Amino acid sequence: MAKVSDVMSKTLLTVEAGMKLDEAARQMHERNVGAVLVLSGERVSGILTERDVLRAVATGDVTGTHVAAWMTHDPETVGPDDTTSHAASMMIHGGFRHLPVVDGSGLPVGIVSIRDLMRVTVDDETPRGA
């Protein structure tokens, strides 16, 4: 069985809770990522996803709004040695598409998405649009 460390992204985009939401969204767009980890010091205090940004925009003016107002506080996490099956189960039962990956001391080492986990399950050799 594959481990989370085999499929996770190790190049993290991180922000602070006090960052303006539009700046975080701009960075997500520039890096082409669907989620950012929100750090307090070196620890994960939240996660901000594309769903959160969409929800913020759909509910009103986001000018001056900060990440803290829309992030998921204290998100569930997995470890790099957890199985991809365990991570997928957490996502399915929790209704989310990204999980922070933290080491034994609680420091972030990656992020895993449902797309990362699908690559383990589905060997897609079909070109897009075929």
Residue 101 belongs to domain with CATH number: 3.10.580.10
Q: Is residue 126 part of a domain?
A: no
Percent of the chain with pLDDT over 90: 85
| Angle formed at CA 94 by CA 41 and CA 117, multiple of 5 degrees | 85
Q: What are phi and psi of 111, to 5 degrees?
A: -145, 140
Per-residue model confidence as pLDDT tens digits over 74-87: 999 999 999 999 99
Cα distances from 3 to residues 14, 40, 114, in angstroms, run 23, 27, 14
The whole-angstrom separation of Cα 114 and Cα 4 is 11
Average pLDDT over residues 102-109: 95
128: in domain: no
- The pLDDT confidence band at residue 129, using thresholds 50, 70 and 90, is low
Task: Answer whether residue 26 shows pLDDT above 80.
Answer: yes
What domain count does the chain have? Answer: 1
Residues 6+ positions from 12 with CB-CB distance below 8 Å = 37, 108, 110, 111
User: Of all residues in the chain, what percent carry a pLDDT higher than 70?
Assistant: 94
Q: Is residue 115 included in any domain, yes or no?
A: yes
Task: Indicate whether 79 belongs to any domain.
Answer: yes
pLDDT at position 1, please?
A: 81
Measured distance CA(129)–CA(42) in Å, rounded: 42
Q: What is the pTM of this model?
A: 0.89
Report whether pLDDT(53) > 60: yes
pLDDT for residue 125: 56
Q: What are phi and psi of 73, to 5 degrees?
A: -80, 145
Domain of residue 114 covers: 4-121
